[in-house]
């Protein structure tokens, strides 16, 4: 049984915060960061070829998927010639509620991909458990359509860890810690892409 955090009550929030940050740092240090190199290369290729990146997740991971648009469209474009085409499948409230109600919640992302995704596009899932039915189905559709895929996972990694072409995994047992690092992965990837495609003399002058 993996160590859970927290495993006991805390007397005050400051002590909990201290241990939370220690857990966060330990989990970050344990990540295989070479996965980010591979993901960055795939994302760069997808952008340069003019293909779409479709990203999705549930709950807090949906928030990460939606937030990623800011970093791709604003951060990556600033000072570069890159023109990312990114869509969060989690952002379509009307569509997702209709699909969940009329078909199945497991199909809310897969259905959209079956309609919109084209060869060369990238499917990107964010899921702490890695086992949510709808993100697993998104990755299955990616395989069926021959699309590249990336998954962000935590805990044991679930089916998403195995299904995706590339996986960035956080070995932690706390949703907040996993989601914090997933969000950091997005910031790292987008800032790296911007930095590596801008006039190098501007680095150190611009805010990231």
Please compute the mean of the pLDDT values over residues 157-173 and round it to a whole number.
98
Percent of the chain with pLDDT over 70: 100
Other C-beta atoms closer than 10 Å to the C-beta of 15 total 10
Please compute the mean of the pLDDT values over residues 193-201 and round it to a whole number.
96
Please compute the mean of the pLDDT values over residues 162-188 and round it to a whole number.
98
Please compute the mean of the pLDDT values over residues 186-195 and round it to a whole number.
98
Please compute the mean of the pLDDT values over residues 57-85 and round it to a whole number.
97
Which homologous superfamily is 33-197 in?
A: Glucose-6-phosphate isomerase like protein; domain 1 (3.40.50.10490)
Helix axes 108-116 and 93-102, enclosed angle (nearest 10)? 110
At residue 1 the predicted structure's pLDDT band, cuts being 50, 70 and 90, is low
For residue 72, pLDDT over 70 is answered with: yes
Quote the CA–CA distance of 157 and 111 in Å, as a whole number.
24
Tell me the CA distances in angstroms from 64 to 14, 32, 35, 68, 154, one per residue in order: 26, 20, 19, 6, 14
Q: Is the dihedral of CA 165, 170, 171, 176 positive or negative?
A: negative
Quote the CA–CA distance of 152 and 143 in Å, as a whole number.
17
Domain boundaries, the chain: 33-197
* Each residue's pLDDT tens digit, 7-24: 999 999 999 999 999 999
pTM score: 0.96
């Amino acid at each position: 049984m993996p160590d859970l955090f927290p495993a006991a009550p805390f007397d005050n929030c400051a002590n909990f915060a201290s241990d939370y940050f220690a857990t966060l740092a330990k989990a970050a240090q344990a990540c295989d960061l070479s996965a980010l190199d591979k993901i960055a290369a795939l994302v760069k290729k997808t952008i340069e070829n003019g293909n779409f990146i479709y990203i999705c997740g549930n709950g807090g991971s949906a928030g990460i998927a939606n937030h990623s648009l800011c970093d791709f469209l604003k951060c990556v474009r600033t000072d570069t010639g890159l023109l990312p085409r990114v869509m969060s499948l989690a952002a379509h409230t009307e569509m997702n509620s209709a699909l969940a109600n009329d078909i199945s919640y497991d199909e809310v992302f897969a259905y959209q991909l079956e309609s919109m995704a084209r060869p060369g596009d990238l499917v990107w899932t964010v899921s702490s458990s890695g086992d949510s039915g709808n993100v697993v189905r998104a990755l299955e559709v990616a395989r069926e359509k021959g699309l590249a895929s990336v998954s962000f996972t935590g805990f044991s990694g679930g089916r998403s860890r195995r299904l995706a072409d590339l996986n960035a995994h956080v070995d932690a047992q706390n949703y907040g810690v996993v989601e914090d690092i997933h969000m950091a992965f997005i910031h790292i990837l987008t800032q790296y892409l911007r930095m590596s495609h801008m006039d190098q003399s501007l680095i150190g002058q611009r805010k990231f």
